[in-house]
Chains A and B, each alone.
Chain A
Amino acid sequence: DAGVTQSPTHLIKTRGQQVTLRCSPKSGHDTVSWYQQALGQGPQFIFQYYEEEERQRGNFPDRFSGHQFPNYSSELNVNALLLGDSALYLCASTPSPSTDTQYFGPGTRLTVL
């Protein structure tokens, strides 16, 4: 049973560029949440997707957007990258939007130069 998978593992971009990160949820899970984890800090909630729609959103600007596909996989897009966007981006999945217990992927390390 595959857990949550994310790609790519690492990514280097320059300021102003755009990036797309990908996540496949754990088998049987239909809800995906994205988190940003800056170095030395806890993860911060970006948004959650269910039934291909954004269901909840944290305190992040519109430069952060997402998408969920019919197979429940999800993408996180960040436009106009800033140096401060450098972080580990984590995807977490749950079997339903009303389930608390989340399973995290290994993350994508984004470096903005």
Chain B
Amino acid sequence: GENVEQHPSTLSVQEGDSAVIKCTYSDSASNYFPWYKQELGKGPQLIIDIRSNVGEKKDQRIAVTLNKTAKHFSLHITETQPEDSAVYFCAASINTNAGKSTFGDGTTLTVKP
């Protein structure tokens, strides 16, 4: 089955700096890659996603890149703010098995004011 590895497990940045989180996946059939933000006591919230027919997607301060050949994808957050502090998860799934996502183990991002 699919295996998703996520790095780093913890990341601390100064407010205003950029943060990058990287994930690799094992199943070349995976074609949907969402990123979630999970705050304490809450469920994961989708922040951005990318499909395998696209190499990059951007939404304001957040961007995701995908390298299908290398089977890795990354989350980029620019101009970080203290409210960006949370646990971020990457995931991968195959659209023929939509809803069955394999998650990474998460990155705890701390943005220092």
**Alpha-carbon distance between A92 and B36 when the two chains are bound, in angstroms:** 13
Q: Judging by beta carbons under 8 Å apart, are B95 and A100 in contact?
A: yes
Is A66 part of the contact surface with B, judged by Cβ < 8 Å?
A: no
Tell me, rounded to whole Å, the shortest Cβ–Cβ distance linking A89 to chain B. Answer: 10
Q: Which residue of A has the minimal Cβ distance to B108? A: A40
Q: State which of A42, A48, A105, A107 has its C-beta within 8 Å of the C-beta of B106.
A: A42
Q: State which of A33, A40, A42, A107 has its C-beta within 8 Å of the C-beta of B104.
A: A42
**Alpha-carbon distance between A44 and B100 when the two chains are bound, in angstroms:** 9
Q: Judging by beta carbons under 8 Å apart, are A45 and B101 in contact?
A: yes
One of B13-21, B37-45, B67-75, B76-84 contacting the partner = B37-45
Q: How large is the interface on B (under 10, 10 to 19, 20 to 34, 35 or more residues)?
A: 20 to 34
**Alpha-carbon distance between A58 and B51 when the two chains are bound, in angstroms:** 23
Chain B residues with Cβ under 8 A from A106's Cβ? 41-43
Chain A residues with Cβ under 8 A from B6's Cβ? 42
Interface SS of chain A: loop
Q: Which residue of A has the minimal Cβ distance to B97? A: A56
Q: How large is the interface on A (under 10, 10 to 19, 20 to 34, 35 or more residues)?
A: 20 to 34
Is B93 part of the contact surface with A, judged by Cβ < 8 Å?
A: yes
Chain A residues with Cβ under 8 A from B25's Cβ? none
Return the CB mask of B49-78 against A: 1 if under 8 Å, else 0: 101000000000000000000000000000
Tell me, rounded to whole Å, the shortest Cβ–Cβ distance linking B98 to chain A. Answer: 5
4 A-B pairs with the lowest CB-CB distances in the bound complex, closest first: A42-B103, A104-B43, A100-B32, A33-B99
Q: A interface vs B, CB < 8 Å?
A: 4, 31, 33, 40-45, 48, 56, 58-59, 90, 92, 94, 97-107
Q: B interface vs A, CB < 8 Å?
A: 1, 4, 6, 32, 34, 36, 41-46, 49, 51, 89, 91, 93, 95, 97-106
